[in-house]
Protein backbone atom coordinates (compact mmCIF):
# COMPACT_ATOMS: atom_id res chain seq x y z
CA UNK A 1 0.00 0.00 0.00
CA UNK A 2 1.07 3.57 -0.64
CA UNK A 3 2.11 5.17 2.62
CA UNK A 4 -0.09 7.81 4.25
CA UNK A 5 0.81 11.27 5.61
CA UNK A 6 -0.68 12.60 8.84
CA UNK A 7 0.42 16.19 9.61
CA UNK A 8 0.71 16.82 13.35
CA UNK A 9 -1.29 19.88 14.40
CA UNK A 10 1.00 20.33 17.40
CA UNK A 11 3.35 22.32 15.16
CA UNK A 12 0.59 24.33 13.47
CA UNK A 13 -0.20 27.98 14.16
CA UNK A 14 -2.87 27.67 16.88
CA UNK A 15 -3.96 31.26 16.37
CA UNK A 16 -4.80 30.40 12.79
CA UNK A 17 -5.99 26.82 13.13
CA UNK A 18 -8.85 27.10 10.65
CA UNK A 19 -6.50 28.09 7.82
CA UNK A 20 -3.99 25.40 8.82
CA UNK A 21 -6.68 22.69 8.68
CA UNK A 22 -7.97 24.02 5.36
CA UNK A 23 -4.40 23.84 4.02
CA UNK A 24 -4.18 20.17 5.14
CA UNK A 25 -7.57 19.33 3.63
CA UNK A 26 -6.49 20.73 0.25
CA UNK A 27 -3.06 19.07 0.33
CA UNK A 28 -1.94 15.51 -0.42
CA UNK A 29 -2.25 14.64 3.30
CA UNK A 30 -4.35 11.60 4.16
CA UNK A 31 -5.07 12.10 7.87
CA UNK A 32 -4.79 14.82 10.52
CA UNK A 33 -2.83 13.91 13.65
CA UNK A 34 -4.02 15.48 16.88
CA UNK A 35 -1.93 15.15 20.06
CA UNK A 36 -3.74 15.31 23.37
CA UNK A 37 -1.63 15.95 26.44
CA UNK A 38 -3.04 17.06 29.79
CA UNK A 39 -6.32 18.86 29.59
CA UNK A 40 -8.67 17.93 26.78
CA UNK A 41 -9.14 19.98 23.64
CA UNK A 42 -12.07 18.85 21.50
CA UNK A 43 -11.86 20.37 18.01
CA UNK A 44 -14.60 20.49 15.44
CA UNK A 45 -12.98 18.71 12.52
CA UNK A 46 -14.02 15.49 10.89
CA UNK A 47 -11.00 13.55 9.72
CA UNK A 48 -8.38 12.95 12.34
CA UNK A 49 -6.38 10.39 14.23
CA UNK A 50 -6.18 11.26 17.90
CA UNK A 51 -3.00 10.41 19.83
CA UNK A 52 -3.72 10.40 23.58
CA UNK A 53 -0.61 11.02 25.69
CA UNK A 54 -2.49 10.95 28.98
CA UNK A 55 -3.35 8.57 31.80
CA UNK A 56 -6.83 7.01 31.74
CA UNK A 57 -7.68 7.68 28.10
CA UNK A 58 -10.83 5.55 28.60
CA UNK A 59 -12.51 8.62 30.09
CA UNK A 60 -12.56 10.51 26.79
CA UNK A 61 -13.62 7.86 24.27
CA UNK A 62 -17.20 9.13 23.92
CA UNK A 63 -16.13 12.79 23.77
CA UNK A 64 -13.74 12.21 20.89
CA UNK A 65 -16.17 10.00 19.03
CA UNK A 66 -18.75 12.78 19.31
CA UNK A 67 -16.16 15.28 18.03
CA UNK A 68 -15.65 13.15 14.92
CA UNK A 69 -12.46 11.16 15.65
CA UNK A 70 -11.92 8.15 13.39
CA UNK A 71 -9.01 6.53 15.15
CA UNK A 72 -8.32 6.66 18.90
CA UNK A 73 -4.73 5.94 19.78
CA UNK A 74 -3.63 5.21 23.36
CA UNK A 75 -0.23 4.65 24.95
CA UNK A 76 0.72 1.10 25.95
CA UNK A 77 2.44 2.61 28.99
CA UNK A 78 -0.72 4.44 30.16
CA UNK A 79 -3.18 1.54 30.04
CA UNK A 80 -3.32 -0.98 32.87
CA UNK A 81 -6.10 -2.88 31.10
CA UNK A 82 -5.18 -2.31 27.47
CA UNK A 83 -7.33 -5.14 26.12
CA UNK A 84 -10.38 -3.66 27.84
CA UNK A 85 -9.53 -0.16 26.58
CA UNK A 86 -9.20 -1.39 22.98
CA UNK A 87 -12.59 -3.09 23.33
CA UNK A 88 -14.16 0.12 24.62
CA UNK A 89 -12.75 2.10 21.67
CA UNK A 90 -14.25 -0.37 19.19
CA UNK A 91 -17.49 -0.40 21.13
CA UNK A 92 -17.43 3.39 20.85
CA UNK A 93 -17.33 3.13 17.05
CA UNK A 94 -13.68 4.06 16.35
CA UNK A 95 -10.58 2.28 15.14
CA UNK A 96 -8.06 1.58 17.88
CA UNK A 97 -4.36 2.32 17.91
CA UNK A 98 -1.66 1.58 20.46
CA UNK A 99 1.51 3.64 20.87
CA UNK A 100 4.90 2.48 22.15
CA UNK A 101 7.40 4.89 23.68
CA UNK A 102 11.02 4.52 22.50
CA UNK A 103 11.95 2.36 25.53
CA UNK A 104 9.06 -0.10 25.22
CA UNK A 105 9.90 -3.34 23.37
CA UNK A 106 7.86 -4.68 20.43
CA UNK A 107 7.41 -7.97 22.30
CA UNK A 108 4.82 -6.22 24.54
CA UNK A 109 2.43 -6.27 21.57
CA UNK A 110 2.46 -10.05 21.17
CA UNK A 111 -1.01 -10.54 22.69
CA UNK A 112 -2.72 -7.37 21.42
CA UNK A 113 -1.47 -7.02 17.83
CA UNK A 114 -4.48 -8.74 16.26
CA UNK A 115 -6.90 -6.45 18.15
CA UNK A 116 -5.64 -3.07 16.91
CA UNK A 117 -5.89 -1.27 13.58
CA UNK A 118 -2.68 0.70 14.10
CA UNK A 119 0.58 0.66 16.05
CA UNK A 120 2.38 3.97 16.55
CA UNK A 121 6.10 3.81 17.21
CA UNK A 122 7.27 6.98 18.93
CA UNK A 123 10.59 7.97 17.38
CA UNK A 124 11.12 10.71 20.01
CA UNK A 125 10.09 10.85 23.65
CA UNK A 126 6.57 12.28 23.65
CA UNK A 127 5.70 15.79 24.69
CA UNK A 128 7.27 18.20 22.22
CA UNK A 129 7.65 18.82 18.53
CA UNK A 130 11.01 19.49 16.93
CA UNK A 131 13.02 16.74 18.66
CA UNK A 132 15.73 14.63 17.09
CA UNK A 133 14.68 11.33 15.50
CA UNK A 134 15.83 8.24 17.46
CA UNK A 135 17.50 5.86 14.99
CA UNK A 136 16.70 2.75 17.04
CA UNK A 137 13.24 3.09 15.47
CA UNK A 138 14.45 1.29 12.34
CA UNK A 139 15.13 -2.01 14.09
CA UNK A 140 11.82 -1.72 15.95
CA UNK A 141 10.08 -1.35 12.59
CA UNK A 142 11.69 -4.57 11.38
CA UNK A 143 10.58 -6.41 14.53
CA UNK A 144 7.06 -4.99 14.35
CA UNK A 145 6.67 -5.92 10.68
CA UNK A 146 7.75 -9.47 11.54
CA UNK A 147 5.21 -9.66 14.39
CA UNK A 148 2.39 -8.34 12.19
CA UNK A 149 3.11 -10.89 9.44
CA UNK A 150 3.54 -13.78 11.87
CA UNK A 151 0.25 -13.05 13.63
CA UNK A 152 -1.57 -12.17 10.42
CA UNK A 153 -2.53 -8.77 11.90
CA UNK A 154 -3.99 -6.01 9.75
CA UNK A 155 -2.43 -3.24 11.85
CA UNK A 156 -0.91 -0.25 10.08
CA UNK A 157 2.44 1.02 11.33
CA UNK A 158 2.70 4.73 12.14
CA UNK A 159 5.90 6.60 13.06
CA UNK A 160 5.83 9.89 14.97
CA UNK A 161 8.65 12.22 15.94
CA UNK A 162 11.46 13.91 14.03
CA UNK A 163 10.22 12.70 10.65
CA UNK A 164 11.74 14.73 7.82
CA UNK A 165 13.51 14.45 4.45
CA UNK A 166 16.48 12.68 6.03
CA UNK A 167 14.53 9.63 7.22
CA UNK A 168 11.09 9.47 5.51
CA UNK A 169 12.08 7.21 2.62
CA UNK A 170 14.01 4.85 4.86
CA UNK A 171 11.05 4.64 7.26
CA UNK A 172 8.73 3.63 4.43
CA UNK A 173 11.32 1.10 3.19
CA UNK A 174 11.41 -0.39 6.70
CA UNK A 175 7.63 -0.83 6.67
CA UNK A 176 6.05 2.40 7.95
CA UNK A 177 2.52 2.87 6.55
CA UNK A 178 1.75 6.28 8.07
CA UNK A 179 4.25 9.10 8.61
CA UNK A 180 3.36 11.79 11.16
CA UNK A 181 5.25 15.04 10.71
CA UNK A 182 4.88 18.30 12.60
CA UNK A 183 7.78 20.74 12.49
CA UNK A 184 9.06 19.53 9.14
CA UNK A 185 5.71 20.49 7.56
CA UNK A 186 4.58 23.56 9.49
CA UNK A 187 7.98 25.25 9.84
CA UNK A 188 8.70 24.88 6.13
CA UNK A 189 8.18 27.81 3.73
CA UNK A 190 5.56 25.89 1.73
CA UNK A 191 3.73 23.31 3.90
CA UNK A 192 1.50 22.07 1.05
CA UNK A 193 4.56 21.30 -1.05
CA UNK A 194 6.32 19.67 1.91
CA UNK A 195 3.33 17.35 2.40
CA UNK A 196 3.53 16.41 -1.30
CA UNK A 197 7.23 15.66 -0.94
CA UNK A 198 6.53 13.37 2.01
CA UNK A 199 3.83 11.66 -0.03
CA UNK A 200 5.98 11.12 -3.11
CA UNK A 201 9.25 10.72 -1.17
CA UNK A 202 10.97 13.07 -3.60
CA UNK A 203 13.15 15.56 -1.78
DSSP class per residue in 111-169: TTTTT-SEEEEESS-TT-SSPPPPTTHHHHHHHHHHHHHHHT---EEEEESS-STTTHH
- Is 27 a binding residue for ligand DX5 by CB under 6 A? The answer is no
Please report whether residue 124 would count as binding ligand DX5 according to CB under 6 A.
yes
Q: For residues 55 and 110, which CB has a smaller minimum distance to ligand DX5 in the complex?
A: 55
Q: Does 30 bind ligand DX5 (CB under 6 A)?
A: no
Q: How many residues bind ligand DX5 (CB under 6 A)?
A: 22
Q: Which of ligand DX5, Zn ion, none does residue 124 bind to, with CB < 5 to 8 Å depending on kind?
A: ligand DX5
> Taking CB under 5 A as the rule, which mask of x and - marks residues 136-165 in contact with Zn ion?
------------------------x-----
3-state secondary structure 47-112: CCEEEECCCCHHHHHHHHHHHCCCEEEEEHHHCCCHHHHHHHHHHCCCEEEEEECCCCCHHHHCCC
State the residues that interact with ligand DX5 by CB under 6 A: 8, 10-11, 33, 35, 51, 124, 126-131, 160-163, 180-184
Amino acid sequence: MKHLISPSLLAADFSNLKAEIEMINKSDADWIHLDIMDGVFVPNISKFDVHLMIEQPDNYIAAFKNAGADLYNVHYEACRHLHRTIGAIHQGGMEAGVTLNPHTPIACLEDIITDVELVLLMSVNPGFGGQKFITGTYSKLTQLKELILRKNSKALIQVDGGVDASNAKQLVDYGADVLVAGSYIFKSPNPTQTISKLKTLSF
